[in-house]
Amino acid sequence: MVEDGLVVGIDVAKGWLDVAVLQTGESFRVDNDAAGWAELVKRLKRRQVRAVGLEPSGGYERGPKQALQKAGLPVRNVNPHKLRHFARALGRLAKNDRLDAAVIARYTADMPTREVRVDPLREQLAELVGARRQLSDDKVSLKNQLDQVRDPGVRRIFTRRLRGIQANILLLEKRLAELVASDTGLAEKDRLIQSFKGAGPVLSHTLLALAPELGQASRREVAALAGLAPYDQDTGVFRGRRSIWGGRAEVRGVLYMAALTACRSNPLLKAFHQRLLAAGKKPKVALIAIARKILTILGAMLRNGQSWQPTLS
């Protein structure tokens, strides 16, 4: 709990940051770019700020977080799963960005939060993982366009671009592997994760960069961070459909792809998937359950320092 000084909450979006100061009720918005971060730091450094709460937001929080840390401002991680339940208790679940920033500030003041520590290696990993994902998205988009192209000259241009993108992806993957290997702790975690049948370097490096809590936080907390925790929509006697919500999109994406692979290559998860379908679960719901299961298994492996064993499933 933060007792003295101003407490600030920041709701992070791709293009902007909504900022709320708990004690004064102030709120303002700045761009989520270098100029916006500088303005944010300037406004906060003039005040006696004791804590700045930030919720993970698919990597869009990395820039402002680094700027705040560099300026010596105390940044704190806000758990999205706990934040949602806190907001529910306050009766403030309507989607409004500035309202969300105020809830984050209130949560940071009232609930235990961890101060963010600077980890240059993990930040570098996160940047490379983000670049790889962007290139992969570009590759898929370009391949889809190529399917529609008939002109031979245009096809040659697109094909050359595809080769260039693939070459750059391979360079990034090589650099990621080198960075992970340079740190004994990360290298061991990488070895454990990739021992799981269905996990490869893309999944492992993404989790190491963007889900450092894996192996430390509870399985429910980690599932919420990945946006794989099911939330109820119950009121009174009504029982609404459970659905996943929020979380880190990049982590969720690689887990979803790992689930697709595991359903084919991992005998135990393949059997689990078939049982879910036989029980009437929709295919997407079943895959999400597999992704959540993979996350739980990997968390247990890292927590216990144990390579993949079929009994862990």
Which residue type, as a one-letter code, is found at position 213? Answer: E
Cα separations in angstroms, 225 against 210, 247, 309: 10, 5, 25
Burial of 170 (0-12, 13-18, 19+ CB in 10 A): exposed
Phi, psi of 17 (to 5 degrees): -125, 125
Cβ atoms of 290 and 268 closer than 8 Å:
no
Tell me, what's the pLDDT at 311? 65
Q: 75-77 and 16-21: which strand pairing?
A: unpaired
Tell me, what's the pLDDT at 116? 67
- Alpha helix locations (H) across 149-282? 152-181, 184-194, 201-210, 219-225, 249-265, 267-278
CATH ID of 6-115, from 3.30.450.80, 3.40.50.970, 3.50.50.60, 3.30.420.10: 3.30.420.10
Strand order in the sheet with 75-77: 27-31, 16-21, 6-12, 49-54, 75-77, 114-115
What span, in angstroms and rounded, lies between the C-alpha atoms of 201 and 214? 16
Phi, psi of 6 (to 5 degrees): -80, 145
What span, in angstroms and rounded, lies between the C-alpha atoms of 313 and 310? 6
Q: Locate the DSSP E strands across the chain.
A: 6-12, 16-21, 27-31, 49-54, 75-77, 114-115
The structure tokens listed for 123 are: 């930040």
Which residue type, as a one-letter code, is found at position 146? Answer: L
The structure tokens listed for 93 are: 């679940």
12-35: b (≥16 Cβ within 10 Å) or e:
beeebbbbbbbeeeebebbebeee
DSSP 8-class letter at 54 = E
pLDDT single digits (tens) 55-88: 877 678 888 998 999 999 999 988 777 787 787 7
Tell me, what's the pLDDT at 83? 82
- Listed by start position, the domains of the chain span 6-115, 120-182, 185-313
Write down the number of H helices and E strands in the chain.
12, 6
Tell me, what's the pLDDT at 166? 97
**pTM for the structure as a whole:** 0.71
Point out the residues of the chain with pLDDT beneath 70.
1-4, 58, 92-99, 114, 116, 118, 219, 223, 225-248, 311-313
Tell me, what's the pLDDT at 85? 77
What span, in angstroms and rounded, lies between the C-alpha atoms of 123 and 130? 11
